[in-house]
Chain A
Amino acid sequence: MNIVVCAKEVLDVSQIKVDPKTNKPILQGIDKKISDIDKNAVEEAVKIKEKLGGKVTVVSVGPSEAREYIKELLAMGADEAKIIPLDDTRDYNVVSNLLAAVINGMEYDMVLCGEASIDLFSGQMGPRVAQKLDIPQITYAKNVDAEADKLTADRDLSGKKVTVESPYPVLLTVTKEINEPRLPSLMEILGAANKPIETIDPSSLEAEVEAGTKISDIKGVAMERKNVIYKDDIDEGIKELVDNLAKSGALG
């Protein structure tokens, strides 16, 4: 089973603070990491490899320092990585075309993605890559049973569980609930240093790199909360709170 996982590094959104003056998020100086749900995808891929044998390849489009983060996925059990360095754009059209072009040149049975990245949470990459590869897509998978000739997955849709069966090749996007990504041991981290990481020049790929959209501004979100915290005299606090709720009409 040849499994490809699409992954990328993102800003650690939990560290983002908002500049009180401009009300814009401060994006400088924020640590980066592998997008959480991409790790679920790698975990699932490694599990499938453990069951059926085969190889897990991570493919990533991202800035040159992405290498450092991609190594973590090799430590988790992926066998090799291909990085397409691209510093200046994250456009879905461009990135999905590059990913598809690389995957098209490989032998693959299954492509795994996170349902969305935790920074922009668009959820576009999986469906776009599936379309470019002209293969079926199974999104929001929360349970996957891979067999030698076909795969069954439970999809988590609001209010219903849809079970889909597909032969290979197929693309899956997974949810955070599908598994608990493993932490690599020290030995696995050291072992990752010997796994191959190939850098692929984007201009060597036959892919359209026309952006579909352009982000013209990142605005702040007006989030003004009163932040009245009652700590010591809870009884008095409750009284005030209930008065305020009643005044605002929230009690109906």
Chain B
Amino acid sequence: MDFELNDNQKMIRNMVRDFAEKEIEPVAAELDEKEEYPHDILKKMAKLGLLGILIPTEYGGAGLDTISYAIVIEEISKKCASTGVITSVHNSLVSDPIMKYGTEEQKKKYLPLLAKGEHIGAFSGTEANAGTDLGAMETTAVLDGDHYVINGSKMFITSGSEAGIHIVFAVTDKPAGYKGISAFIVESDTEGFEVGSIFEKMGIHASLTSELIFEDMRVPKENLLGEEGQGFKIALGTLDGGRIGIAAQAVGIAQRALEESIEYSQQRQQFGRPISKFQAIQWKIADMATSVEASRLLLHKAAFAKDQGGRFSKEAAMAKLFASEAAVKAALEGVQIHGGYGYTKEYTIERLFRDAKITEIYEGTSEAQRMVIAKSLLG
């Protein structure tokens, strides 16, 4: 048993930390304020291989392990949670299923594009009436000659308006229920693909989240991912991996909240001494640090489990559940430690507070994680 990162993982952490400090930190607050998508940052990340972390080297990626992946997402999210989730979706919700279920042709065509960042990826599953309950999906795909004709709409799609490559889920066989869902690789310049409204959100402002509308969108037959009817399985399997990404994002947010709180509490003087000298603050900081540490351990354990090749749904769900709740709590306490200043936009903790909440919601709410965990224990 060894809790040390290996040399490569440490180097990766240092590199991403340097990158985030130099390239993300100076613009993060402005991107948040202007609700601007981090195009430039993503371009630079692509050059460093950060958009192809898990993609095998033969398809232009770095072919790294999932712990390294978690380290990257944590370090990026520490500086900008929006860039964190975009990267997480791109790597684990889009590249991963193509690696796992794609045909050799699909892999050769799409993975290098994703690894080089020529296209950002989006995972288009959620609908207005189908969130946690994916089985309620209404978008349909009907085979017509060499093409599937897809009709319907999607909701809350991270990078929906910006991505070039989408994994789209649609019903190919309605009576079969969730076994009638299929997955498709869709290029955003396909005729019939339209971006609907972009949502105004509480947090992660720089990650544009949109509605997508498909109107008689003709997708070549060879873009079916996996087999017809395999969509639900692909979605669930993919989301297990995605949850590791979101857990990492949450750890990044929580870690930053802790760091900001430590710094502020040592600097802020009340009653003639820094507030860090008061036990009320010390206990908060101690609790925050403990849950950050616990979150990271669960995260790395889940990442390790994924790399062992077996099922890791429970581990991923636990990591995501615990880390996201820890992030929300850390940001909340962080604001409290900052007092009135923490409620203003001048302090980073305000953004962390707004950004943290979503980690309890997307890629499976906390309630859904508890369902997954309970099911694995109780059957």
Contact = CB atoms under 8 A, between A and B. Distances in A.
Complex: A in contact with B (CB within 8 Å):
yes
A183 B57 CA distance: 19
A193 B8 contact: yes
Contacts of A66: none
Contacts of A187: 49, 57, 62
B49 A72 contact: no
Contacts of A67: 7
B64 A190 contact: yes
Contacts of B18: 183
A189 B11 contact: yes
Given A33-B14, A72-B14, A190-B64, A185 B47 contact: yes
Contact of B8 (A33, A185, A190): A190
A218 interface: no
B62 A186 contact: yes
A1 interface: no
B49 A186 contact: yes
A184 B15 contact: yes
B305 interface: no
Nearest to B15: A183
Interface in B12-71: 12, 14-15, 18-19, 47-50, 52-53, 57, 62-64, 68
B100 interface: no
Contacts, number: 48
A6 to B, nearest CB: 21
Contacts of B11: 68, 71-72, 75, 184, 189, 192
Nearest to B63: A190
A186 B7 contact: no
Contacts of B345: none
A186 B48 contact: yes
B291 to A, nearest CB: 21
A75 B12 CA distance: 10
B12 A189 contact: yes
A186 B50 contact: yes
Interface residues on B, range: 20 to 34
Nearest to A232: B340
Main secondary structure of the interface of B (DSSP, over half): helix
B10 interface: yes
A192 B57 CA distance: 15
A68 B7 CA distance: 6
Interface residues of A, number: 16
Interface in A55-110: 67-68, 71-72, 75
A68 B12 CA distance: 12
B57 A189 contact: no
Contact of A189 (B15, B19, B47): B15
B48 A68 contact: no
Interface string B66-83: 001000000000000000
A181 B68 CA distance: 23
B10 A183 contact: no
Nearest to A39: B18
Contacts of A185: 47-49, 62
A225 to B, nearest CB: 12
Contact of A71 (B7, B47, B63, B68): B7
A190 B62 contact: yes
Interface in A190-206: 190, 192-193
A192 B11 CA distance: 10
A194 to B, nearest CB: 11
Nearest to B47: A185
Nearest to A184: B15
A185 B52 CA distance: 11
Nearest to A180: B22
B7 to A, nearest CB: 6
A84 B63 CA distance: 33
Nearest to A33: B14
Interface string B140-159: 00000000000000000000
A68 B62 contact: no
A109 B7 CA distance: 31
A184 B16 CA distance: 10
Nearest to B44: A183
A57 B353 CA distance: 47
Most chain B beta carbons < 10 A, residue from A33, A68, A186: A186
Query: Which 4 A-B pairs give the minimum distances between C-beta atoms?
Result: A186-B49, A186-B62, A185-B49, A185-B48
15 contacts: A71-B7, A71-B11, A75-B11, A183-B19, A184-B15, A186-B15, A186-B48, A186-B49, A186-B62, A187-B49, A187-B57, A189-B12, A189-B15, A193-B8, A227-B269
